[in-house]
Structure 1
Amino acid sequence: MERVRFWNKVLVLCFSLVWLINGLFCKVLNLVPRHQQIVAEILGETYSRPLTIAIGISEVLMAIWIISRKFSKLSAIAQILLIVSMNIMEFVLTAHLLLWGRLNIVFACCLAAMIYYQEFVLQADLERRNRIA
């Protein structure tokens, strides 16, 4: 059970770091300008910087939500829906700006599957074991 608990915590930390890094460093601090280019191409150039910052702040808030473990099932569902919908939109509209082009959708689906596994398999197993003990 300790191994399951350890990997569950590692995955939660990794997911929150993905959101934090993409939100704070890539978008808010604009260390990866490609993110703002994607926003500009989808939503227009005029407000692309403030919109990119707003998206980045939202991603930082997602990282905090994940770490807090409050309403974790809702958090997992929100993450999965956001990842899949954002990546489908980028796949269709801005594949040329993506780090791995159209292959990005494969990595997005793998991340979504890992989030599902962490929350609805590992976490559920821990909760079941705690009820039994």
Structure 2
Amino acid sequence: MVKTRIVTYIIATVWLANGLFCKVLNLVPRHQEIVARIIGDTHAGLFTRLIGLAETVMAIWVFSGWRSRLNAIAQMVIIAAMNTLEFFLAPDLLLWGRLNALFAFLFILLIYHNEFSKEPSFSR
């Protein structure tokens, strides 16, 4: 199956929404509560904004298409790591509790399928 631009844009939009809107602009304070649960209250605001900035940069990287395979691997590892921490340390703060892990896994599968289930391209 060929990688589609629309799926790539959806993936990037998820990173942008969660990074910029939820964390940097703090429109969803629950994200800072999750960070506080993991690292403590003292620097939770700063770390939440830094994580949000990193997620916003990830969205730009996804949109750019530069080194897309490395990008896909990075996304999958980051999503797995973040959701593993949240699953064990802050399940009560997650939108769908421990069921969030299922949605994270499905998102990882979408990223994998979009990047690695395609014909090799000779135009790169």
Q: Which TM-score band (shorter chain)?
A: over 0.9
Ranges in structure 2 where 5+ consecutive residues have no aligned partner: none
Structure 1 length-normalised TM: 0.88
CA deviations on 1:64-98 (whole Å, 9 max, x unpaired) are 00011111000000000000110011000000000
How many residues are treated as equivalent by the alignment? 124
Unaligned runs of at least 5 residues, structure 1:
none
Work out whether 1:112 is the aligned partner of 2:108.
Answer: yes
- 1:1-133 alignment runs, 5 A limit: 4=2, 8-122=4-118, 125=119, 127=121
Which one has a bigger Cα radius of gyration?
A: 1
Deviations 1:7-33 (A, max 9, x none): x10110000000000000000000000
Runs of 4+ in structure 1 over 2 Å off: none
Q: Identical aligned pairs, as a percentage?
A: 50
Which structure has the higher relative contact order (CA within 8 Å, separation 6+)?
A: 2
Provide the aligned C-alpha RMSD in A.
1.7
Provide the C-alpha distance between the structure 2 equivalents of 1:97 and 1:20, rounded to a whole number of angstroms: 21
1:106 deviates by: 0.2
Post-superposition CA distance 1:17-66 (Å, at most 9, x none): 00000000000000000000000010110000010000000000000000
TM-score (ref. length: structure 2): 0.95
